């Protein structure tokens, strides 16, 4: 459920602000780093780098292609947030960049379930698409695609942190995610 205007009977329950809260920014940074290190180690244990390296060394255009994929992923990630926000609310989202974050935001108040859907949409959608590509292409394509998958995971650290924080809160919540700041309201009991 979502609302264009905050309904009566809700009171302030908290804020997630990755620009102003050093503690939250640090937690997201540490989570992001972990979401790079663990998949790299897992990938190294599962698939040797050599075949991918030889493929990329023999096709010079793959290097700029990988760079382009990593850069293109950022707006695709935010577009996925925005499309899910729009699909669930009918309100056009706003997009922006406040370094170090790109964002999609909305003035709509989403309930916890809908906010979780919009938060996790990119990591789930692109994660599944990349895993399908990894499974369908020859093994030497693993590392170029796995690097994009790692970017997908680590780039979703703020989204995962938000979902974790919201799941820890009790009660009927409404969340307004304007991009890098989320206001959380709880229904008064």
For 132-172, what is the HEC assignment? HHHHHCCHHHHHHHHHHHHHHHHHCHHHHHHHHHHHHCCCC
Query: Tens of pLDDT along 28-68?
Result: 999 999 999 999 999 999 988 888 888 888 988 889 988 99
Distance of CA 107 to the CA centre of its chain: 19
Instruction: Please state the pTM of the whole predicted model.
Output: 0.89
Q: Identify the bridge partners of residue 186 per DSSP, sorted by sequence position.
A: 11, 173
Average pLDDT over residues 102-118: 95
User: What string of DSSP letters covers 9-35?
Assistant: TEEEEEEEETTT-HHHHHHHHHHHHHH
Supply the range of the domain harboring residue 42.
2-187
Separation of alpha carbons 66 and 123, rounded Å: 19
Q: Which residue has the tokens 């820890």?
A: 168
Separation of alpha carbons 130 and 124, rounded Å: 10
Confidence of residue 102 (pLDDT cuts 50, 70, 90): confident
The reported pLDDT for the residue numbered 81 is: 96
Number of domains observed in the structure of the chain: 1
């Amino acid at each position: 459920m979502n609302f264009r205007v905050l309904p009566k009977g809700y009171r302030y329950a908290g804020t997630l602000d990755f620009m102003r809260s050093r503690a939250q920014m640090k937690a997201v940074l540490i989570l992001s780093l972990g979401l790079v290190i663990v998949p790299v180690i897992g990938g190294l244990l599962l698939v040797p780098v050599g075949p991918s390296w030889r493929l990329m060394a023999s096709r010079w255009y793959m290097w700029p292609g990988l760079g382009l994929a990593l850069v293109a992923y950022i707006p695709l990630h935010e577009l996925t947030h925005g499309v899910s926000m729009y699909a669930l609310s009918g309100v056009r989202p706003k997009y922006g960049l406040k370094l170090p974050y790109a964002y999609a935001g909305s003035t709509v108040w989403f309930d916890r379930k809908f906010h979780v859907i919009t938060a996790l949409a990119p990591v789930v959608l692109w994660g599944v698409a990349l895993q399908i590509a990894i499974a369908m292409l020859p093994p030497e394509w693993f590392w170029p695609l796995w690097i994009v998958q790692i970017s997908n995971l680590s780039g979703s650290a703020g989204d995962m942190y938000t979902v974790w924080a919201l799941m820890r809160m009790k009660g009927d919540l409404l969340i307004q995610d304007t991009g890098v700041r989320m206001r959380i309201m709880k229904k008064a009991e």
